[in-house]
Homo-oligomer: A and B are copies of this chain.
Amino acid sequence: MGVSVAADQAPRYAPGMLIHQDSLRVTSHGRGTIELTREVEAIVAASGVTSGVATVFVQHTSASLIVCENADPAVRRDLEAWFARAVPDGDPLFEHTAEGPDDMPAHVRSALTQTSLSIPVRETRLGLGTWQGIYLYEHRRAPHARRVSVTVIGA
């Protein structure tokens, strides 16, 4: 077991600091994941930022964000199966039921995953690992229009 610093890059003053914001409009077909990696990457490219951070934020409390394995779609089906068992729809535990049996579970699932992701930008691209994709996770059963905000700060 060990930890070492890679020392990739020296610190630098950034007199030409850039900031760029944009939004994604995502239309879901109901519960499940929708990959956003390519669209977030396009916003990073448009920002002109070489080194920095991209902040991805979903403006809802019944849909969320995850970084997940992007190779085998079964991974996201299994993740959904786990959530369906751990936070079941129609659970008699819940008092907030007026918006449907899947609404309160959607809020719990959102609290257990992410509303915001901060991803490094390195050499003008998202610094994701080989098998990482960015996904919107729709937790409601009905289709919804979702808004995801992306802010890129760097130089």
In the complex, per-residue mask of A98-115: 1 if CB is within 8 Å of any chain B CB, else 0: 000000100110111111
User: Given A11-B48, A78-B94, is A129 in contact with B147 using a C-beta cutoff of 8 Å?
Assistant: yes
- Complex CA gap A14/B47 in Å reads 12
Q: A2-B27, A122-B149 are known contacts; what are 10 more A-B pairs with Cβ within 8 Å?
A: A3-B39, A5-B23, A9-B22, A12-B18, A59-B132, A61-B129, A67-B116, A75-B96, A78-B104, A85-B93
- Complex CA gap A51/B23 in Å reads 13
CB-based contact B3/A11 at 8 Å: no
- Total interface residues on A, CB under 8 Å, equals 95
- CB-CB under 8 A from A51, the residues of chain B are 19, 21, 151
Can you list 24 A-B pairs, Cβ within 8 angstroms, ordered by A? A1-B27, A2-B26, A5-B43, A6-B25, A7-B22, A9-B21, A11-B19, A11-B20, A14-B17, A14-B18, A19-B154, A21-B122, A51-B151, A53-B53, A60-B132, A61-B67, A61-B68, A75-B96, A78-B95, A78-B107, A79-B107, A86-B86, A111-B112, A122-B149
- Complex CA gap A53/B116 in Å reads 11
- Complex CA gap A89/B130 in Å reads 24
CB-based contact A55/B21 at 8 Å: no
CB-based contact B39/A5 at 8 Å: yes
Name which residue of chain B comes closest to A116, CB basis: B118
